[in-house]
Structure 1
Amino acid sequence: MELTDVTLREGAQMPGRSYTIEQRIAAGRELDRLGLAAVQAGFPAVGDDHAAVTRRLAADLDADVSGLARAVPGDVDAVIDAEADVVNVFAAVSSAMLDRVFDTSREAVLDMLDDAVARARNAGVPVRVGLMDGFRTEVEHVVTVSERFPDLPLGLADTVGGRTPAFVETFLEELAEAGVDLARLGVHFHDDLGVATANTLVAAGAGVGSADVSVAALGERAGNTPLEQLVVAGDRGSGDTFGIDTAALIPACRGVLDALDEAVDPRRPVLGEEVVRHESGLHTTVMLETPWVFEPFDPATFGGERELVFGRLTGRGAARRLLARVGGEQSERRVDALLDALAKAGPVGLEGALSLARDVSADEGR
């Protein structure tokens, strides 16, 4: 499965955001460190800033740079004029969207897709077709679109973020049984139920060819499949890192967040500071020697680092190991003295704790 990052386009849709062109360019360059297959730079028909970002990144990145377009001539022309590498044309053929949002027929939408695809092809620009609300679209209608554009990648969006892994697995099985080549498919999940990563992993396991992701799930409502979580989960589960440079993962994602002036919850998986910080007495005791016992993954594998913190929660076992590291004796008196010093000075990092252990050892030696 290849990954397309949609942080720049989806992030700009969040309420109150007004990223500058230069912010988005800087974030795009950080993303390109990862070896992504593609970066969706924006929605050029929305405004000149989206077009400018698309044009500059298309000239600058190794990844393919795509622009989003509705299946209308003006949108497609805007992506072409922005010199994108790929036009991502989307439309809806689900009954819910046709009846409640667009007030048009399915056949009319298919004709619009025909025209949009032809327009991009005539301009010599590769095109992908995406189905808005794809995971609420009846299987027969997904098959119709697949057969209408047999040589194009076809994206399916869980637009409202309401699908679960069991549903996704069954839906993809039904498409495969109906003759759809899952390797042609791309998936775009929203995280409203907190299962976007799980849904994407299910899709990968089923043989789906590509998926949309965003850094720290930046995107409208609850956001999209988090890039960093998917890569780490893939590595831990099946050994598949989706072509991403794992050593650059955490630094590049943090670089994107810095460029966009976005912060994340300190307890956020993979990127949060707290997820690699340990103070519990039992944890630090063991992790001084064998950190993997209390970690789901080694942060260093993905360009991060763990932080052991010592203070009032430090136990006697950890104190003894700290004293041993500095060559001090682990008498009960020295252990008590170190625990008192840690409680007063803490929380401190490993180097600070070792410094206190040296001080205790020196004091006890006098």
Structure 2
Amino acid sequence: MKQYLIDTTLRDGEQAAGVIFSLKEKIRIAQMLEELGIHEAEIGTPAISIQEEKDIKTLVNQGFNFDMLCWARATVSDIMAAKRTGVKRISISFPVSDIQLAAIGKDYDWVLTQMETMIGLASNHFEFVGIGAQDASRANPNFLRSYISKASCLGVKRVRFADTVGIMNPFSVHEMIATYRNLFPMMDLEFHAHNDLGMATANSIAALQAGCNSIDVTINGLGERAGNAPLEEVAAAAKFSLNQNLGIDLKNINNICSYIEEVSQRKVSQTKPVTGELITSHESGIHCRSILNNPMTYHAFDPGEVGKKSQFVIGKHSGVASVLDALAGMGIHLSAEEGKKILPKVKKLASSKKQSIDKNELKELILKQ
């Protein structure tokens, strides 16, 4: 079974509060996603505005080599707006939980009736029609089963299970996907995680393990509230934890992550998994000494796999080995005994500053001896 990622940075990512991409930025993001090796991308919601519809049409006309998809509500106007963009694939979203349906004054019968009408319409205008089960994580299991069964009978090729408020955990995700994988073996299953409880990446990996065909992701996890499952984390976790290659060029992942950070104006933590600025930095003397012998002693994966390298920070917790290594990098070669003499001064300076010391400060300590 082929498993792959569907990027939704240009749709759900841009839905993050206060985030707006210009057309130029959208085109550049799409180009970078293509360079990464993304299989499919959700490129927007045409019904937002006439300008959004035009932007999506422009993206479609660029001829990117990944499949392009539009998101739509279960309305005629949304579906026709998507048709006007020239996109060949559409995902129609239906609320399926009691709480979501009550909020719009609808019920189960409305969903099943509207599904038949909307899928019938969309099938006349698109090569591919998928449906989304919005808030599937809080839906009545019996209704969700009926929903998917009806979709299957109508010729729908893929169902998206959305953990809309990020309430699931890896165990419940695995159980849900495995259940529907068994009930509907011919249906493509898609999982859409949100990170409200910090489990979007783990939940996405659980979905893959349970037999999900595709996982929705965004660059940097950009998205509503706490965001979505980060593409870079899911791709890296699949590769290094599941030993499964999802076709993403992780060595060049930092370029697009930095670009999204810039154009979204959403600052990424320095210790964010996979791409954070400090994730391959070490200060502890024990760690640094071992890493000098074998970089994998304190790394889950070779930093080079994600375009990074191990870095030593000189500070309160440093040991002789890392201090000597830092000095050697500046062309200053000391013996182990000399290193032991300078180490207390390094620790004292770092403690007084309440932070690490830079190369110039380290060099000054040597000159003052």
Query: TM-score, normalized by length of structure 2?
Result: 0.86
Question: SS of the residue aligned with 2:137?
Answer: helix
Q: Given the alignment of the two structures, is residue 239 of structure 1 paired with residue 257 of structure 2, yes or no?
A: no
Q: Given the alignment of the two structures, is residue 275 of structure 1 paired with residue 285 of structure 2, yes or no?
A: no
2:220 corresponding residue in structure 1: 216
**Superposed, which structure 2 residues align to 1:208-357 within 5 Å?**
208-321=212-325, 328=333, 330-333=335-338, 335-337=340-342, 340=345, 347-348=357-358, 356=363
Deviation of the 1:236 alpha carbon: 1.5
CA distance, structure 1, for counterparts of residue 235 and residue 321 of structure 2: 35
2:135 corresponding residue in structure 1: 133
Deviation of the 1:127 alpha carbon: 1.4
Task: Tell me, yes or no, if the aligned pair for 1:287 and 1:293 is still in contact at 8 Å.
Answer: yes
2:120 corresponding residue in structure 1: 118
Task: Tell me, yes or no, if the aligned pair for 1:41 and 1:54 is still in contact at 8 Å.
Answer: yes
CA distance, structure 2, for counterparts of residue 18 and residue 115 of structure 1: 33
1:35 corresponding residue in structure 2: 37
Residues matched between the structures, number? 357
Deviation of the 1:155 alpha carbon: 0.7
Task: Tell me, yes or no, if the aligned pair for 1:214 and 1:227 is still in contact at 8 Å.
Answer: yes
2:6 corresponding residue in structure 1: 4
Q: Given the alignment of the two structures, is residue 201 of structure 1 paired with residue 205 of structure 2, yes or no?
A: yes
Task: Tell me, yes or no, if the aligned pair for 2:6 and 2:214 is still in contact at 8 Å.
Answer: yes
Task: Tell me, yes or no, if the aligned pair for 1:277 and 1:307 is still in contact at 8 Å.
Answer: yes
Residue range with higher mean Cα deviation, 322-331 or 119-128 = 322-331
Task: Name the amino acid aligned to 1:117.
Answer: I
**Superposed, which structure 2 residues align to 1:47-62 within 5 Å?**
47-60=49-62, 61-62=64-65
2:353 corresponding residue in structure 1: none
CA distance, structure 1, for counterparts of residue 339 and residue 243 of structure 2: 45
Question: SS of the residue aligned with 2:71?
Answer: strand
**Do the aligned partners of residues 335 and 139 (structure 1) sit closer, same or farther apart at CA in structure 2, a change above 3 Å counting?**
same
Q: In the alignment, which of 66, 80, 86 is matched to residue 63 of structure 1?
A: 66
CA distance, structure 1, for counterparts of residue 203 and residue 249 of structure 2: 22
**Do the aligned partners of residues 247 and 322 (structure 1) sit closer, same or farther apart at CA in structure 2, a change above 3 Å counting?**
closer
Question: SS of the residue aligned with 2:254?
Answer: helix
Task: Tell me, yes or no, if the aligned pair for 1:133 and 1:160 is still in contact at 8 Å.
Answer: yes
Q: Given the alignment of the two structures, is residue 78 of structure 1 paired with residue 81 of structure 2, yes or no?
A: yes
Query: TM-score, normalized by length of structure 1?
Result: 0.87
Question: SS of the residue aligned with 1:228?
Answer: helix
Task: Name the amino acid aligned to 2:128.
Answer: P
Task: Tell me, yes or no, if the aligned pair for 2:10 and 2:44 is still in contact at 8 Å.
Answer: yes
Question: SS of the residue aligned with 2:215?
Answer: strand
**Do the aligned partners of residues 52 and 302 (structure 1) sit closer, same or farther apart at CA in structure 2, a change above 3 Å counting?**
farther
Question: SS of the residue aligned with 1:220?
Answer: coil
Q: Which runs of 5+ in 1 are unaligned?
A: none
Deviation of the 1:225 alpha carbon: 0.9
CA distance, structure 1, for counterparts of residue 328 and residue 127 of structure 2: 65
CA distance, structure 1, for counterparts of residue 223 and residue 336 of structure 2: 55
Aligned alpha-carbon RMSD (Å): 2.8
**Do the aligned partners of residues 336 and 189 (structure 1) sit closer, same or farther apart at CA in structure 2, a change above 3 Å counting?**
same
CA distance, structure 2, for counterparts of residue 324 and residue 17 of structure 1: 45
Deviation of the 1:333 alpha carbon: 3.3
Deviation of the 1:314 alpha carbon: 2.7
**Do the aligned partners of residues 262 and 31 (structure 1) sit closer, same or farther apart at CA in structure 2, a change above 3 Å counting?**
farther
CA distance, structure 1, for counterparts of residue 150 and residue 10 of structure 2: 30
**Do the aligned partners of residues 72 and 330 (structure 1) sit closer, same or farther apart at CA in structure 2, a change above 3 Å counting?**
same
CA distance, structure 1, for counterparts of residue 336 and residue 232 of structure 2: 45
CA distance, structure 2, for counterparts of residue 348 and residue 62 of structure 1: 45
CA distance, structure 2, for counterparts of residue 268 and residue 252 of structure 1: 15
Q: In the alignment, which of 167, 171, 177 is matched to residue 172 of structure 1?
A: 177
**Do the aligned partners of residues 164 and 311 (structure 1) sit closer, same or farther apart at CA in structure 2, a change above 3 Å counting?**
closer
Q: Which runs of 5+ in 2 are unaligned?
A: 351-355
- Offset from partner CA, 1:51-70 (integer Å, 9 cap, x none): 23322222322211111101
Deviation of the 1:124 alpha carbon: 3.7
Residue range with higher mean Cα deviation, 190-199 or 234-243 = 234-243
Deviation of the 1:91 alpha carbon: 0.6
